[in-house]
Chain A
Amino acid sequence: MVSEKKQDQFKTIFNAQFTTIELMWLSSKIAIVSQIETSSKFNVFFSLVSRFIENKTIICNNEEIETLEHIYPGFSKTTWNKQDIARALLMIDLPISVNKAVLTSFFEIAEMKEQVSLYKNLYLLQNASEFKSQVAEGIRTNMVNVFDAIASGNPFASSYLDDNEWNQLILKSFFMDRKIYNIQNIDTRKNENLANMLQDYVKERWAAGRQVSLEIWRMIDGYLRDDIKVLCSKKQFEGIEKEVMHKILESNNSASPQYWNTIGKEH
């Protein structure tokens, strides 16, 4: 959830990124969607952003990034383009009394990039928590870029999803071969149930002669079961996997988040 004050800070930072012509177009459309009677125009305007706003990655200075991280923890972990931001501004100014209905129905017809923008921007709404089930639904997607929009550098999941939904996000990340180190608050939401499901998954994969992501151990660390320890003792590990398994099996202290981030980035 983002307060009105923070929303204003967000707008102020980005107004400078648009050209005069873009800003004129955007302001005129925001004026229309911000009225309840004409808010249904949102769908077409949200789509037309692709024609009227340049598809260019935004660049912010350090001070701006600091503010943005305060508003939207994880903001700097992914790239944002001007179209995402323009779409955020349209979403923010939809009246709260209708934004749930308008956005929920728009999700059903959104194209790939629109879905990415929608999921990235939901956290910026004052009533973000009302979109919890939409995000839980989004996790079921098989479009990788849409999934990444929910998982990567997005504070929504850790803020609002319950444990079952969160666990599905993490499980699905591994099934889709995604990295997890960029998931916001990845360590604080660790839980035993998740670790158990992942250990079952490790057993299934090993039985089939297949490998698992090294990052999986980040979620298991602290909950390692005896049956997995026995299996590990019978397996030969090499290279970085050997190092990671040693940390998991021998170390009394959990590996640091920095260690795991490096594993995620480099392997």
Chain B
Amino acid sequence: MQYIDPHIHMVSRTTDDYQKMQKAGVVAVIEPAFWFGQARTNVGSFKDYFSTLVGWERFRASQFGIKHYCTIGLNSKEANNAPLAEQVMEILPEFLAKEGVVAVGEIGYDDQTATEDKYFRLQLELAKDFDLPVMIHTPHRDKKNGTIRTMDVIEEHGISPNKVVIDHNNEETVKWVRDRGYWAAFTIYPKTKMSKKRMVSIVQTYGSEKIIVDSSADWGVSDPLSVPKTAALMRKHGVAEDDIRLTCYQNALSIYGQSGQFNESDWVKETTINQSDLHQGNTVLRGQEAKTISFKNDKKA
């Protein structure tokens, strides 16, 4: 079985994670631009972060046989620094135009301030300009109102719910999100957000249509294997293979594939990586034994 983790912050993860993910069947990841844990104080920090997502991290993932894509956006938390946000808005188009950028995101609300609202709306317009899907981060606090307001604003800007993923759903929000035609993503965290077990119940209740499982693994307590582990638990509880495939692979491909930047053919063909072809020195292998890893990717996911 092949998996896609459509929301994971690999810049915070180790090479052990990449190896385990590859072994568990993860073939592609999407890394949304987000908050760093530490607030950035100048536009250069954003520029270098975005460049890392389309450069070094993309290369790092390729060494482990995983295709790396990203979304680009100004996150809601840092949007509150208006003078800085203005400057970030200016550089976003240059990154949104790049190959492998599959959506504008993750954007939305945090505190639901007026400033957040301003930059959220401006970025929705950018998504229209570049004809890209949108990845939405829903707020932790006042989640219900924040989620509904997010959807209202998206519709106000004339964006089709079919081009939008609303992430970090729970048992409550999923109803409203699905009723309005959006893709509903679930972040499986070991302690907070959504657990694997609750996720199984959601798929048992709602089926697999427009439902997406992701790990959102980052610098906090989180698990980069959330997608394959949740799939395993679904299987154990008798969820149909087709529903597992849709929630842990195909739905992400369908929604983000609308960007034209996210194609199954990128990873379906056999990928052979000779690690000694890649590099040593100040980088990933650091004098370990180079080995040839052959990933014969099975077409049937």
Contact = CB atoms under 8 A, between A and B. Distances in A.
Interface of A: 43-44, 47-48, 50-51, 108-115, 142-145, 147, 172, 175-177
Contacts of A142: 56, 59, 279, 281-283
B197 interface: no
Interface string B53-85: 011101100000000000000000000000000
Nearest to B282: A142
B95 A109 contact: yes
Given A142-B283, A144-B277, A176-B280, A111 B54 contact: yes
B59 A109 contact: no
A50 B99 contact: yes
A43 B54 CA distance: 15
Contacts of B293: none
Given A47-B97, A48-B97, A177-B276, A112 B282 contact: no
Contacts of A175: 280-281
Contact of A110 (B55, B277, B283): B55
B128 interface: no
Contacts of B237: none
B276 A111 contact: no
B93 A44 contact: yes
A42 B281 CA distance: 34
30 contacts: A44-B97, A47-B94, A47-B98, A48-B97, A50-B98, A50-B99, A51-B99, A108-B47, A109-B51, A109-B91, A109-B95, A110-B51, A110-B55, A111-B51, A111-B99, A111-B100, A112-B54, A112-B55, A112-B58, A114-B99, A142-B59, A142-B281, A143-B56, A143-B59, A143-B279, A144-B277, A145-B59, A175-B280, A176-B280, A177-B276
Interface residues of B, number: 26
Interface in B240-262: 260
A101 B58 CA distance: 26
Contact of B47 (A48, A50, A109): A109
Contacts of B260: 51
A47 B92 CA distance: 13
Given A44-B97, A47-B94, A114-B99, 7 more contacts: A43-B97, A47-B98, A50-B98, A109-B91, A109-B94, A111-B98, A143-B55
Contacts of B278: 144
Contacts of B50: 109
A47 B132 CA distance: 15
B20 to A, nearest CB: 23
Nearest to A177: B276
A143 B54 CA distance: 12
A143 B276 CA distance: 13
A223 B50 CA distance: 46
Contacts of B280: 175-177
Interface centre among B47, B55, B98, B283 (most CB of A within 10 A): B98
Interface string B90-123: 0101110111100000000000000000000000
Interface of B: 47, 50-51, 54-56, 58-59, 91, 93-95, 97-100, 260, 276-283, 290
Given A51-B260, A112-B59, A142-B279, A43 B51 contact: no
A112 B52 CA distance: 10
Nearest to B93: A44
Nearest to A50: B99
A142 B91 CA distance: 25
A175 B100 CA distance: 30
Contact of B290 (A51, A112, A177): A177
Contacts of B56: 142-143
Contacts of B95: 109
B100 A144 contact: no
A8 to B, nearest CB: 29
Contacts of A147: 279
A47 B47 contact: no
A205 B77 CA distance: 50
A112 B260 CA distance: 18
Nearest to B48: A108
Nearest to A113: B99
A176 B279 contact: yes
A143 B100 CA distance: 17
B103 to A, nearest CB: 15
Contacts of B98: 47, 50, 111, 114
Contacts of A109: 47, 50-51, 91, 94-95
A172 B100 CA distance: 29
Nearest to B53: A111
B293 to A, nearest CB: 15
Given A47-B99, A50-B99, A142-B281, A111 B55 contact: yes
B142 to A, nearest CB: 36
Q: Which 10 A-B pairs have the closest CB atoms?
A: A111-B54, A50-B99, A47-B97, A142-B283, A143-B59, A44-B97, A47-B98, A176-B279, A43-B94, A177-B276
